[in-house]
Amino acid sequence: MKALKVIALPAVLFAGWWVLSAGSKDFYRPPLRTILVAFADTWFGARIADDVLPSLARLGAGYAVALVLGIAAGVVIGRHPAVRETVEPVLEFLRAVPPPVLVPILILVAGIGDLMKVLVIVSGCVWPILLNTVEGVRAVDGVLADTCAVYRVPPVRRMVLRAASPQIVTGARQALSIGVILMVISEMFAARSGLGFTVVQFQRGFQIPEMWSGVLLLGLIGVALAALFRLVERSVLRWYHGQRAAEKQH
C-alpha cells in the first residue's frame, strides 16, 4: 500500500509525459519514447565507465572530504565559544560566496583536472555540514557533559558526535543535493569527461534526445542517492526517531 503511494505520482507523470509527447514533431521536445531509446544507447555502454563513474567518484571524494572537514571544524567551533567568536564573521563571508564563482579561481589554483572539480564540490558541501554541526554541538545537554566528566567517558567520541548527529545528518542531507549540482557545474567548465560535460556536448551537437536522456539520468542519480542517504540515516538516527516518537506519546 505504501509502495503504491510512493510509485503513484511518478507513474502518472511518466505516463502523462509519454502520452502528451507521443506525436511530437518539435525538434527540441522529442517524444519520451525517443528519449528512452537514446537513454539505452547512450548510457548502457562505455559511457558508464568513461563519464558516469568518474563523475560519481569525484562527488564521493568531495562529499567525503566535506563531511570530515565540516564535522571536525564544527565540533571545534561548537565546543569553544572563543573560537566561534573569532571565526564567525569569516565563515559568514565564505558561506555567502556562491561556489560556482569559485570555479575560475580554483582553475587558476588547481588546474582543470579532477582536483579542481573535487574542490568545487567541497567548497559548496562543507557549509551546511559545518554550520549544522556547530548548532548540534552547542545544543548538547549539560547534564550529559557532566556525566562524561564524572564517569571518565571520552566526551567528543562517545557523546558529542552522537548527541549532535541529528543536526549533522540534516547538514549532510543539504550538502548532498548541493554536491550533485556542483558535480554537474564543475564539469561544464573546461572538462573532457563527466555527466555535466556530456550533457553540454549533446546540446552543442544538437543531439537533443541524448541531452534529455542525460537530464533523466541525473534525476535518477539524485533519487538513488537520496534513497541511499535515507537508508544510512535510518540506522544512524534510529535512537533519535524512537525517542521523538516516545516523547510524542507522553
Partner 1 sequence: MLEVNGLRKVYDGHGRRVEALADLTFKLDDGEFVCLVGPSGCGKTTLLRCVAGLLRPTAGEVRVAGRLVTGPPDGLAVVFQEYGRSLFPWLRVHENVGLPLSGPRKPGLGKEALAAVGLAEARDAYPWQLSGGMQQRVAIARAIAFEPKVLLMDEPFAAVDAQTRADLEDLIREVWRRLGVTLLFVTHDIDEAVYLGQRVIVLSASPTTILDTLDVDLPAGRDQLTTRAAPRFTQLRGRVYTHIQQARTS
Which residues contribute to the site for partner 1 (CB under 8 A)?
A: 141, 143-144, 146-147, 149-153, 158-159, 162, 165, 239-240, 242-243, 246-247
Distance, in Å, from the CA atom of 112 to the CA atom of 127, rounded to the nearest integer, reads 23
In this structure, what C-alpha cell is assigned to residue 139?
545544543
In this structure, what C-alpha cell is assigned to residue 48?
558508464
Closest of 136, 215, 225 to residue 175, by C-alpha: 225
Q: How far is the CB of 34 from partner 1 (least distance, A)?
A: 51
**Residues 31, 32, 35, 36, CA torsion sign:** negative
Q: 41 or 141, CB closer to partner 1?
A: 141
Q: 125 or 137, CB closer to partner 1?
A: 137
Q: How far is the CB of 145 from partner 1 (least distance, A)?
A: 9
Q: 67 or 163, CB closer to partner 1?
A: 163
CA dist list (Å): 174 to 86, 110, 127, 169: 26, 26, 9, 9
Closest of 81, 61, 83, 79 to residue 71, by C-alpha: 79
Q: 66 or 168, CB closer to partner 1?
A: 168
Q: 92 or 141, CB closer to partner 1?
A: 141
Q: How far is the CB of 183 from partner 1 (least distance, A)?
A: 32
Q: How far is the CB of 155 from partner 1 (least distance, A)?
A: 12
Q: How far is the CB of 71 from partner 1 (least distance, A)?
A: 17
